[in-house]
Amino acid sequence: MKTIRFIKALMLLPTLLVAEVSDLDPQFTDIKNDIKTEKTKKSRENTYYIKLGSSAVKNKNAAPLLGVGIRSENKSFATDALIDYSYQDDGDSLISNLSVPKISVLKFFSPEANSSFYAGPSLAWVFNNFDDEQNDSNSYFFYGISAGGSVGYEFGRENETLRHMIQLDMATPTISARSKGKVPNINGQLSYNIGF
């Protein structure tokens, strides 16, 4: 029994020593705080966000845009996956555009900073549709893979509550599973994203 008590006392000794050193040496306390901060930063590697903006899918026509996504990042790079949808019916024409999913790989240009520009390529499976009630020859649809790129600016990368992103996306229909009509070469999106 005495042997077991002695072993337990030895096991508690390092904990007591660390507590004593922490109280006596401020530098040791700073090291512990740095480790805690680093763990906190790692907990924000995954950011869920809401995407709000506008999608230009046919000449000057544009549609309101709504999406949800997740961004997984480290200091220098991020991978981004999202679903977004835009729709507009003004009576004369109908626009709808669905990306499900869209995958991007992004590089941060100021990886050590709290805010940074970023850019990278993207691929998406898209459903693009435009119906022109006045001139049916302008109507089209495209189902398939769209390739493009994103550029943006992210604020508050070390923020524990909210992150903000302003982003411009450009894409072109690349591999068609099914299409009809004259499909535009370029589709664009301008959005404000808020992450949690």
Question: How does pLDDT run across 144-170, given as a tens digit for each residue?
Answer: 999 999 999 999 888 778 899 999 999
What is the rounded distance in angstroms from the CA atom of residue 88 to the CA atom of residue 105? 29
The whole-number pLDDT of residue 29 equals: 53
Q: Does residue 30 sit in the same domain as residue 72?
A: no
Contact between 189 and 148 (Cβ < 8 Å): no
* Residues 97, 183 within the same domain: yes
- Residue by residue, DSSP assigns 169-193 as EEEEEEEEEEEES---S-EEEEEEE
Same domain, 112 and 125: yes
Same domain, 134 and 58: yes
pTM recorded for the entire structure: 0.76
- Give the CATH number, domain containing residue 109: 2.40.160.20
Tokens of 143: 């189902």
The string of DSSP letters for 82-107 reads: EEEEEEEE-SSEEEEEEEEEEEEEEE
- 3-state DSSP percent of the chain in helix, strand and coil, to 5: 20, 60, 20
Q: What is the DSSP letter of 25?
A: -
**Does 32 have pLDDT greater than 60?**
no
Pair 83, 177 in one domain: yes
87 and 30 inside one domain: no
Q: Are residues 16 and 77 in the same domain?
A: no
Return d(Cα 63, Cα 181) in angstroms, integer: 20
* Count of the separate structural domains present in the chain: 2
Residue 149 and residue 57 share a domain: yes
Range of the domain at 124: 44-195
pLDDT score of 159? 77
Of 6-10, 67-71, 85-89, 166-170, the least confident:
6-10
- Tell me what pLDDT residue 90 has: 85
Residues in the chain: 196
| pLDDT given for residue 137 in this prediction | 87
- Tell me, yes or no, whether 21 and 53 share the same domain: no
Predicted confidence (pLDDT) at residue 30 exceeds the cutoff of 70: no
Q: Are residues 127 and 190 in the same domain?
A: yes
Q: Rounded CA gap, 154 and 167, in Å?
A: 9
Whether 147 and 122 share a structural domain: yes
From residue 78, alpha-carbon distances to 1, 38, 161, 179 in Å are: 56, 18, 19, 32
Same domain, 21 and 77: no
Measured distance CA(113)–CA(144) in Å, rounded = 37
Q: What is the per-residue pLDDT across 91-113, written as a single tens digit (0 to 9) for each?
A: 888 999 999 999 999 999 999 99
